[in-house]
Amino acid sequence: MEISTLARSGLKTIPLLVALATSSVAGAAAEVAAVAPAVLSPASGSLAVRCGRLIDGLSPTALLDQTVLIEGGKIVAVGSSVTVPPGVRTLDLSAQTCLPGMLDLHTHITDIPQNTADFTVYPRLSPEEHLAIGRPNGKATLEAGFTTVRDVGTYIAGLDREMRDEIDSGKIPGPRMQVSITYLTVPGGGGDMLLPGFPKAKAKTPLARLRRGVARGPDEFRAKAELLVADGATVLKCIASGAVLALGGIPGAPEMTPEELRAVAEVAHKHGLKLAAHAHGARSVKEAILAGADTIEHASLIDEEGILLAKEHGVALSMDVYNGDYIDTEGRKQGWPAEFLQKNIDTTEAQRQAFTRAVQLGATIVFATDAAVYPNGLNARQFRIMVQRGMTPMQAIQSATSVAAKAMAWDDRVGALVPGRFGDLVAVKGDPLADITVLEHVDTVLKGGEVVKAL
Ligand SMILES: [Zn+2]
C-alpha cells in the first residue's frame, strides 16, 4: 500500500524447498492423485509436467506439447521429447497453458485494505495481531499464481521478514519474498506513521517500531538504511515523493532530497541490494533515477524525459495501474479519507496515460500492483489494464515473469521455465495470449515442484 513505501533488500535467504504441510496442499494432492494415480509426493519436489501449451517467460511465442521436468525442486529439462526418469511422476496438464510462477514486484503482503480507513489500527493492534491478519494473504497470493513477490513496505517494521520466515520454514503457505523491513522516509513523509494525538500508552505496537525508517539528511538516511539491512532487509524502499494514501503530502511533490536518495542508493548497492524508490512526480522520478534507484514505484506523473532517462539508466518502472479502480469503488464504500480518494483520482488516469507512453517508448516495465491497497490475491486483475493500455499479452506476461525476475536480481532462480530455475509453474485453461483475463483464474500452481493448487 502506498502510504509510503518500504525498502527491502537482500538475497540472504534462498527460500527453502519445503513441503507445505497445509490442508490446502493436502487437498490439492488428493485431487490430482485422483486424476493421475500416485502422481504426487508432496515432499519430493520431483515431477514431470506435461503442458499442452507452454509460455516459458522468455521466448516470444508459445510452444505446444512440452514437458517440464523438475527434480529436487528445480527445473532440469524442458522440451517436446524429454525423457522422464523412472519413479518421477507425471502431472498431465495437456489441456492447459503452462507459464512460470508469476512475480509481483510491489506488494504489502502483511496488510489489508480495510486498515486504510483508519491508520490508528497500526498502533492499536500488536505485531502478532497484525501478523495474524496478514498470514492468509500468503496463501491467497500463492494460490493466485504469484510464487514470488517483492514486498515493499509494512508500517510495523520487520513484520514482512517474520512472515517470510514462516513461509520459508513451511509453517504457512506463501510466495518467495524479498522484504524491505519498512519505509525509508522523511518525518511526516509518505512512509511515516505520524499519529498526532494517539496516546502512546495505548500503543500495542511501539511507535518506535512504526517509525524505524524515518530520517532527515543524508547521514541519517545512511544510518537508517544500514539499520534496515542489519534488520534483514533484502531490498530497500524509499519514499522520494508524496504519496496518495497518506495524510498530507502531495503525490507529485519531492519529499527526499537528491542527496538523501543517493545516500540510500549507496547503502543498498554496497550490500548488493536493489533500491525501490516511490516517486509519483516527474521531478522526483528523475531525481531518483539519477541518484541510483533501480526501480521507480508508481511513476504516476512521469514525463517523456523521465521515461527516456529510465531507459538510459536501465531503471525499471513499477506502475500499479489497476488499484485506482479499487480505491475509487471499494475504498469509497469503506469510508477511506476524502483526501485519499481525491489524490487517487488525480493520479489514476495520468498514470495510465504515462504507462501507454512508456510502453510506446520501450521502457522496461515490471508487473507491480501495490497489493493491500486492494486485497492480496487479486493481483492478476492488473493484466487487463496493462493490455488495454498498450502492452501485448506476451509483454504483460513477461513483465510478470522474466522481466520482473531480472529487475529484482532473481533471474537466476525464478521468472522462466528453463533449466536451473525453481519449479515454480502455473497453468490455466484457455490461452492468455488470446484473453489475458484467464490469468485471473489460475487452475494449477506449483512452487519448487510441489503442487500447491490443482484442478
Ligand atoms: Zn506500496
* DSSP per-residue letters across 141-193: HHHTTEEEEEE---SSTTHHHHHHHHHHTTSS---EEEEEEE-BB-TTSTT--
Separation of 324 CA from ligand 1 center, angstroms?
Answer: 12
- Residue 427: per-residue pLDDT: 98
Per-residue model confidence as pLDDT tens digits over 319-359: 999 999 999 999 999 888 898 899 898 899 999 999 999 99
- Residue 357: per-residue pLDDT: 98
Domain ranges of the chain: 7-14+102-407, 23-100+414-453
Separation of 182 CA from ligand 1 center, angstroms?
Answer: 11
Separation of 430 CA from ligand 1 center, angstroms?
Answer: 31
Determine the 3-state secondary structure of 451 from DSSP.
Answer: strand
Separation of 413 CA from ligand 1 center, angstroms?
Answer: 24
Per-residue model confidence as pLDDT tens digits over 183-202: 999 999 888 987 878 888 88
**For residue 88, how many other CB atoms are within 10 A of its CB?**
17
On whether the CB atoms of residues 372 and 149 are closer than 8 A, the answer is no
Separation of 65 CA from ligand 1 center, angstroms?
Answer: 39
- Residue 452: per-residue pLDDT: 94
* Spatial distance between the Cα atoms of 257 and 280, rounded to a whole number of angstroms: 15
Q: What is the second-level CATH architecture of the domain 23-100+414-453?
A: Roll (2.30)
Q: What is the average pLDDT score of the chain?
A: 89
On whether the CB atoms of residues 254 and 245 are closer than 8 A, the answer is no
Separation of 345 CA from ligand 1 center, angstroms?
Answer: 17
- Residue 418: per-residue pLDDT: 98
Separation of 320 CA from ligand 1 center, angstroms?
Answer: 9
Low-confidence ranges of the chain (pLDDT < 50): 2-43
* Spatial distance between the Cα atoms of 84 and 82, rounded to a whole number of angstroms: 6
Per-residue model confidence as pLDDT tens digits over 61-113: 999 999 999 999 999 999 999 999 998 999 999 999 999 999 999 999 999 99
Choose the CATH number for 7-14+102-407 among 3.20.20.140, 3.20.20.100, 3.30.428.10, 2.40.30.10: 3.20.20.140
**If DSSP states are collapsed to H, E and C, what string results for 55-80?**
CCCCCCCCEEEEEEEEECCEEEEEEC
**For residue 203, how many other CB atoms are within 10 A of its CB?**
19
- Residue 249: per-residue pLDDT: 66
CA dihedral sign of residues 93, 19, 372, 352: negative
Determine the 3-state secondary structure of 323 from DSSP.
Answer: helix
What's the order of all strands across the beta sheet hosting 450-453? 74-79, 63-71, 47-54, 90-100, 425-428, 444-447, 450-453
